[in-house]
Chains A and B, each alone.
Chain A
């Protein structure tokens, strides 16, 4: 049983203790709290022992696997091992039909630093949180995770807890955690906090900030969507007009308008309200949009509308092909590992913060992933490289 599961079970037990507090006397409540605390400690100890044993086992297996891989490489020479991609590499690629991810698994960790992630939604949300978990995992690191922290105070407690546990790098993956970090980071000067999306470090020496230039990929996808749209009308389902979601919207609108299409934008006012996102997407289709796009974890509802109406979809943050294998045209995928590699190097060099990193098409932190199952006109696809080059060299403005 993983430590995460143990902690969640403890959370559920804590809720029951909360109920017990409503039922019984103070003594009974104290007893119940003590029992849950003891059970929690035992469970965490057991999970720790299990984790140690698992680590040993993983080491053994890794050594064996490395040996086997070396033998295999000797046999196959320099044979291409990236067979999930049709044209992998750079900031644009096509994911083979049936594949959903472009994150290769690293054979060994890029750093010995211990890493924890605190994020607002589920680790498999096919959006914001998953993009970070995938990136850290791609670097060969097994992070400690606290996800679905819908309440900022819960996230703050997790961030503080990891710092107290001596974790080297705590990734606070959410703009909303800035206020908590302002308070917590100065108390743990030996811990490096990595915070995003944010464009400044709040003047803290042990905080790195990261942000995606989501307008860049948004612009590229906007041009493709406009060329694909017969109606010249595209529906956008956004969450709240802030952060990378707003950047994506602005870039997408600029790209689509540059190709003569109009984009109707609806911000639902929520990152997670699937029902509202579903109705927003339905309203766009009713209004005549023949292409849909959107951002944040609530888009699972909007994609289902695209699927039901056979309307092509453009995604961002993570590759969203699995939600509609035939209708997702392309996704702008965040490869946080590009900036994390630099951040880990800086930490190992003794710098714990004070810098801002940005994902861009140029540094290949933003990758446009086309879906191999969607038959996109080669003429449309052929122009994408040129558009990316224009965005990278600055000859094309994304409106930012």
Chain B
């Protein structure tokens, strides 16, 4: 146990936790915007898989990370258009539509991978860690917090930006309005469909970034790479009470607990016999924290309700 509390181990644990938290955070921040506008998207995992494959495949062929970044973001955006048409234009039931998107993403990314790649092939270029000048050289703290890949920095930079957009801009006010009372917003001249559509586009693009962070960060793709990560991201939105700061805390909690459990296993502190119980720890702790700590902030009143003037 004493080994665990050395500074180098703690630094490794925090650094790994931040890496693990990154895709959760990107996806959950995007979902926060969507849910604030009243749109539930259970298809996040499917969008992540498609973007993860798309960016991986482009980088595999071109060895250019910028092209991969573009591909991942565009795929997320396009899936946003699809989901927007389904849920906003056709006013479909959002829960079932999201599951359909997830199944489509899961199956189609698998199909594309098998037809276009086949055997898992490591990328020759991947997202590398970049030390932030000045901060990256701070002993221990720099190693833990300021030496990550650019998408990790982007994810955490988006936390205050999303807060700013949601609470300090007209667009953010409209998003919250159509999520709480779309009829009232409509009567005041706000385009409910338009605002929701844009929120969906932003959310899906961020889900695309999350998938890209996974495949380009790992430098490889294989079928079902996300392993249900997108569903946990949706849960983290509830955990974070639809606020970006809360979502960040949830993502970090999940990532750092997962990282801590790995360290405990690696050092034999969690015996092999209890290994499976240890693997459940992040999910269990998150649920417990959700029950114990969750503030009584209610979900957007019109969440998952299609809007129709009729």
The chain A residues found within 8 Å of chain B, CB to CB, are 5, 8-9, 11-12, 14-16, 18-19, 21-24, 121-126, 130, 148, 150, 235, 240-241, 264-270, 272-276, 278-280, 282-284, 286-287, 297, 300-301, 303-304, 307, 322-324
Contact = CB atoms under 8 A, between A and B. Distances in A.
Contacts of B267: 264, 287
Given A148-B224, A286-B12, A279 B20 contact: yes
Nearest to B111: A8
B100 A283 contact: no
B220 A18 contact: no
Nearest to B261: A269
Interface residues of B, number: 58
B16 A125 contact: no
A304 B122 contact: yes
Contacts of A274: 218, 220, 222, 225
Contact of B92 (A9, A19, A150, A303): A19
Interface in B70-86: 86
A301 B104 contact: no
A16 B104 contact: yes
Contacts of A19: 86, 92, 96-97, 100-101, 104
B272 interface: yes
Interface of B: 8-9, 12, 16, 19-20, 23, 86, 90-97, 99-101, 103-104, 106-108, 110-111, 113-115, 118-122, 214, 218-220, 222-225, 227, 258-259, 262-263, 265-268, 272-273, 275-276, 278-280
B93 A22 contact: yes
Given A22-B96, A23-B86, A264-B267, A323 B227 contact: no
A270 B227 CA distance: 9
Question: B16, B111, B222: which has the most chain A beta carbons within 10 Å?
Answer: B222
The list of the 10 closest CB pairs from A to B, nearest first, reads A269-B279, A19-B100, A22-B96, A15-B103, A15-B104, A18-B100, A22-B92, A267-B275, A23-B92, A124-B119
Given A23-B90, A274-B218, A323 B120 contact: yes
Contacts of A126: 119-120
B112 to A, nearest CB: 10
Contact of B111 (A12, A283, A322, A324): A12
B263 A24 contact: no
A304 B220 contact: yes
A171 B51 CA distance: 33
Contacts of B276: 240-241, 267, 269
Given A18-B103, A269-B278, A124 B114 contact: yes
A272 B120 contact: no
A148 B223 CA distance: 7
Contacts of A240: 276
A121 B110 CA distance: 10
A278 B114 CA distance: 23
Contact of A278 (B119, B218, B266): B218
B247 to A, nearest CB: 19
Contacts of B92: 19, 22-23
A287 B266 contact: yes
A241 B266 contact: no
